[in-house]
C-alpha cells in the first residue's frame, strides 16, 4: 500500500508522531485552561456585590439611626434610604429630577434636599419646593432578616 518511491528505511514517523502528540496535548491543555479560567473567575466573587436588576440590599437593620438617611447603590444610580423619626424605612431615587445632582436626607427639615439648587422633596419623593420639576422615584422597602431590601416598583 506504500506509495511508490517512499523510502521506508528512513525513520520520520516517530518524530512526526511526537510532534503531533505534542501539538494535540498542548492544544488540549491550553483549551482546558481557557475553559477553566472563566469558570474560576466566575466562582471568585467580584470586589463589589451587586444583585443587579430590580432588587438591592440597601443596608442592614441597625445601620441607620432614626431620623437619618444614607446613599446606597442601585445599579449604577444612587438611591436614598431614609429611616424616619417614626422608625419607618423609605427608599427613593437619589438623583434630583432638576439637574441630576445627588440628593440627601436633612434631619433638621425631615425632608430630602438637593444641595445644588435647594430643591426639596418630601419623604414620599414629591417635589415640594425649589426647581425640581418631578417627584423622585420611590422604591418598595422590605426587611428580610436583618437586611433591608429595596425593590423597584413594578409598573402596571
Minimum gap (Å) between residue 34 Cβ and other proteins: 3
Closer CB to other proteins, residue 35 or residue 65? 35
Closer CB to other proteins, residue 73 or residue 106? 73
Tally Cβ neighbours within 10 Å of residue 108: 7
Burial of 32 (C-beta count, 10 Å sphere; 0-12/13-18/19+):
exposed
Minimum gap (Å) between residue 96 Cβ and other proteins: 9
Q: In whole angstroms, give the CA distance from residue 148 to residue 140.
A: 10
Q: Which residues bind other proteins (CB under 8 A)?
A: 1-2, 13, 16-17, 20-21, 23-24, 26-28, 30-31, 33-35, 37, 46, 48, 50, 73, 75-78, 95, 99-102, 115-118, 130-131, 133
List, edge to edge, every strand of the sheet that includes 127-129.
104-106, 111-114, 119-121, 127-129
Task: Give one word for 53, left, alpha or beta, with left for phi > 0 and alpha for psi -120 to 50.
Answer: left
Closer CB to other proteins, residue 70 or residue 130? 130
Minimum gap (Å) between residue 71 Cβ and other proteins: 9
Closer CB to other proteins, residue 16 or residue 153? 16
Minimum gap (Å) between residue 17 Cβ and other proteins: 6
Q: Among 153, 149, 155, 154, which residue's Cα sits nearest to residue 72?
A: 149
Amino acid at each position: 500500500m506504500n506509495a511508490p518511491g517512499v523510502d521506508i528505511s528512513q525513520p520520520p514517523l516517530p518524530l512526526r508522531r511526537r510532534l503531533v502528540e505534542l501539538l494535540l496535548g498542548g492544544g488540549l491543555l491550553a483549551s482546558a485552561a481557557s475553559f477553566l479560567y472563566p469558570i474560576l473567575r466566575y466562582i471568585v466573587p467580584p470586589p463589589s456585590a451587586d444583585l443587579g436588576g430590580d432588587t438591592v440590599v440597601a443596608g442592614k437593620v441597625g445601620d441607620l439611626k432614626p431620623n437619618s438617611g444614607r446613599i446606597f447603590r442601585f445599579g449604577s444610580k444612587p438611591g436614598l434610604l431614609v429611616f424616619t423619626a417614626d422608625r419607618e424605612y423609605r427608599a427613593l431615587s437619589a438623583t434630583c429630577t432638576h439637574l441630576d445632582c445627588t440628593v440627601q436626607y436633612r434631619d433638621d427639615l425631615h425632608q430630602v434636599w438637593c444641595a445644588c439648587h435647594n430643591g426639596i422633596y418630601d419623604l414620599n419623593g414629591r417635589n415640594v419646593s425649589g426647581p425640581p420639576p418631578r417627584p423622585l422615584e420611590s422604591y418598595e422597602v422590605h426587611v428580610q432578616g436583618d437586611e433591608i431590601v429595596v425593590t423597584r416598583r413594578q409598573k402596571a
